Structure 1
Amino acid sequence: MNILIAEDEPVSRHLLEVTLRKWGYEVTAARDGAEAWEILNRPEAPNLVISDWMMPKMDGLELCRRVRGDQKKEYTYIIILTGKGKKEDIVKGLNAGADDYVIKPFDREELKSRVGIGERIISLEREVRRLASTDPLTGILNRGAFMDRLTQEINRCNRENTPLSLIMADIDHFKKVNDTHGHQAGDRVLQEFAETLRNALRSYDFVGRYGGEEFMICLPGTDGAPARDVAERIRKEVESRSFTLPDKGGAIGVTASFGVVSRAPESGEDLDMVIKRADKALYEAKGRGRNCVCMAR
């Protein structure tokens, strides 16, 4: 874990750095609250902060207020380091947004314990967020998390003037699988289908379960023809794969239909427009007899 230290006094800052590194943490150091705030706004910013109260440019309490007023997805745990030991000062620090405090000069064992508490809380928060964003059956992104990430990706593509493609996939005649082989078999097909999609993608592509037997894939930086090739490759993989039946020792084959849409940054299309076009292309694929790929017009 990377810990950010915000401390204007050089000797105290150095002592904190040495102590934390000795315990196995990575350390990023800031000389005042303003520099710490700038660091916290970078990508991959630390999630745990040890901040002095009294600092030039921006003090520790103002840093707490700014962090709490930010709409970051991940939680930032803040420990205030202060010589102010009065009860009213501690309450003031906590009310500003600090999670914990350590009185100067700090005791190493006390600091180690309080940092450990912060680390556990951050780990729990990350696990809660992971569970909230994951489809429990397939282990991929659920609809809400996928849509949030797709929105972020569209905004990024607008800033960087790059294309983006979306693939909407639907398992053909899935109801027949449930009716013939049971819902456990249907669940297994969904799990293995999601695995097939995930294995076909690059590290920065992402896939989510849109609902029922419908799935969506986002291909950042990819325009129409390559996106169609990806969808066709997945279609062939699904068609050739045997899907395991639970408790029966057998397997079945399934097919899937795919709608592909490519979004150019200059198009100005928003999230709803892109999804509507992908859905229309998928509907066309089903109208052509299923087990095929159709590009949005």
Structure 2
Amino acid sequence: MANDVGKRGHTLLIVEDSRSVAGLLADRIGLINGVTVLVAGTLEEAQQMVLARKDELFLAVLDLNLPDAPDGEVVPWVLSQGVPALVLTAGLDDNERDGLMDMGIVDYVNKTNPSEIEHVVRTVERIYRNRHVSVLVVDDSNSARAYLMELLRRYGYRLREARDGVSALAQLAQHEDIRLVLCDQNMPGMDGVTLIGRIRQRYCRSHLCIIGMSHYGSGMLSARLLKAGANDFINRPFLEEEFFVRVNQNVELIELIRSMEESANRDPLTGLYNRRYLADAGGMLFDAATRTGHGLAVILMDLDHFKSVNDRFGHFGGDEVLRKVAHHLTDITRSSDIVARYGGEEFCVVAQDMDNRKARVLAEKLRAGIAGLCLTIKGQAVPLSASLGMAVHLGSGLEDMLTRADRLLYEAKSSGRDQVRMEQENP
């Protein structure tokens, strides 16, 4: 079962009567790529904006004391429209804090502390990114599961749910976008420790976070869950603020690890994959092609006369050409293909499920596309072409295919450039 909240819009509403605070927030939040910011200074203005653009709003940042709503009336009204709310306040006592949390706000921030403005910005960015993050809630209790999902909904997560371990494993197998699992310990058939152990047989800690939960927590239980493979443990009942902090920290850890891995696998100039990733992922595609009998094409291409581009326009001009070519290659190929920068002006494409005819069509499309790029640097046209060599017989491994593709690339260069050389059909 799924409950997706990732369909919200890209607009944020700031309701704040202090122009300086509203301006500072709008400027900082406006730097988040993709977010549009609206500003209102009164409850009346906020109501008009919400009613006109409710479907576009993913969050509202609300001042608790407005000229026409001095007692926080803006908060329940905005929440009643289905818009999550982050509250700005000059100070709260415990009863006021409990009242706001019971309403279902995302969080509250003391705006008298200048450093808290950055907390607001980070929270907004977190909620905006969460539209692409799926969380799986596993609990046999309908009410407990619904409560957890309501909390997660406030932070904009995409939600999936399961009543037991078997359905949880099925959800994970079906939905690769799940980044966090909230797992209750006490479930019939398969308890939390067992489920977590099963999950860890397939998903490592750095790619999927698991938070174990229980009403009967103890040091021994939390240790068992952590040893089984959980990243964290939460005792029930819990403070909602603690819950949000734990969940967000674990998701951010996953994102950080993925970002570091992505950086290690990418060429910093073009953004394409590097040779390290090509060797690892390409090797897996080769193994899959060997196993299934489906075709695999390895295409090496080299830009013709690229030294003359560097001589005419300098290395900055050459770098711009490489970036444009990389963008073109990404546009033409499929998401399942590997596109890598192989060397200085050399690129490589590894395409799976390719027979000889499809491989030839792809290679010619790549060649013609590069030749057809309309590039100008400093007002001068930059003519481009590329020579391509393509291996389609599996042979002994990916390195073998790369070696043969390189030999064919050399033949294309020697025969006049701007052409594709491909292996002949098997005898």
TM interval, short-chain normalised: 0.7 to 0.9
Tell me whether 1:100 sits opposite 2:227 in the alignment.
no
Pairing partner for 1:244 from 376, 381, 388: 376
- The Cα of 1:170 is off from its aligned counterpart by 0.7
Q: Which amino acid aligns with 2:385?
A: T
- Listed as ranges, the gaps of 5+ residues in structure 2 are 1-132
Tell me whether 1:76 sits opposite 2:203 in the alignment.
no
Q: Residues 41 and 230 (structure 1 numbering): CA distance in 2 closer, same or farther, change over 3 Å?
A: closer
Q: Residues 230 and 69 (structure 1 numbering): CA distance in 2 closer, same or farther, change over 3 Å?
A: closer
- Listed as ranges, the gaps of 5+ residues in structure 1 are none
Q: Which moved more, 1:157-166 or 1:273-282?
A: 157-166
Report the Cα distance in structure 2 between the residues aligned to 1:48 and 1:12, rounded to whole angstroms. Answer: 17
3-state secondary structure, aligned to 1:166: strand
Q: Which amino acid aligns with 1:293?
A: V
- The Cα of 1:131 is off from its aligned counterpart by 1.9
3-state secondary structure, aligned to 2:330: helix
CA contact (8 A) 2:303 2:346 kept: yes
3-state secondary structure, aligned to 2:388: strand
CA contact (8 A) 1:47 1:74 kept: no
Q: Which residue of 1 aligns with 2:391?
A: 261
Q: Residues 154 and 99 (structure 1 numbering): CA distance in 2 closer, same or farther, change over 3 Å?
A: same
Deviations 1:63-117 (A, max 9, x none): 3344445465961111110134434543443344322221123443432332222
Report the Cα distance in structure 2 between the residues aligned to 1:249 and 1:44, rounded to whole angstroms. Answer: 46
Deviations 1:12-55 (A, max 9, x none): 23433444345533332233334434433445151101111233
Tell me whether 1:51 sits opposite 2:191 in the alignment.
no
Report the Cα distance in structure 1 between the residues aligned to 2:333 and 2:178, rounded to whole angstroms. Answer: 29
- Structure with max Cα Rg: 2
Pairing partner for 2:310 from 168, 172, 178: 178
Pairing partner for 1:214 from 340, 346, 350: 346
Equivalenced residue count is 292
Tell me whether 1:136 sits opposite 2:268 in the alignment.
yes
Report the Cα distance in structure 2 between the residues aligned to 1:28 and 1:91, rounded to whole angstroms. Answer: 26
Q: Which residue of 2 aligns with 1:273?
A: 400
CA contact (8 A) 2:138 2:182 kept: yes
Q: Which moved more, 1:31-40 or 1:249-258?
A: 31-40
What is the RMSD of the two structures over their aligned residues, measured on CA atoms?
Answer: 2.8
CA contact (8 A) 1:224 1:261 kept: no
Q: Which residue of 2 aligns with 1:163?
A: 295
3-state secondary structure, aligned to 2:342: strand
CA contact (8 A) 1:280 1:296 kept: no
Report the Cα distance in structure 1 between the residues aligned to 2:223 and 2:155, rounded to whole angstroms. Answer: 29
Tell me whether 1:289 sits opposite 2:416 in the alignment.
yes
> Greater RCO between the two (CA within 8 Å, min separation 6)?
1
Q: Which residue of 2 aligns with 1:31?
A: 163
Structure 1 segments of 4+ aligned residues over 6 angstroms from their partners: none
> How high is the sequence identity, in percent, across the aligned residues?
37
The normalised TM-score by structure 1 is: 0.83
Q: Residues 17 and 279 (structure 1 numbering): CA distance in 2 closer, same or farther, change over 3 Å?
A: same
Q: Residues 51 and 144 (structure 1 numbering): CA distance in 2 closer, same or farther, change over 3 Å?
A: same
Report the Cα distance in structure 2 between the residues aligned to 1:230 and 1:89, rounded to whole angstroms. Answer: 56
3-state secondary structure, aligned to 1:47: strand
3-state secondary structure, aligned to 1:8: coil
Report the Cα distance in structure 1 between the residues aligned to 2:233 and 2:373, rounded to whole angstroms. Answer: 57
The normalised TM-score by structure 2 is: 0.60
Report the Cα distance in structure 2 between the residues aligned to 1:71 and 1:155, rounded to whole angstroms. Answer: 21
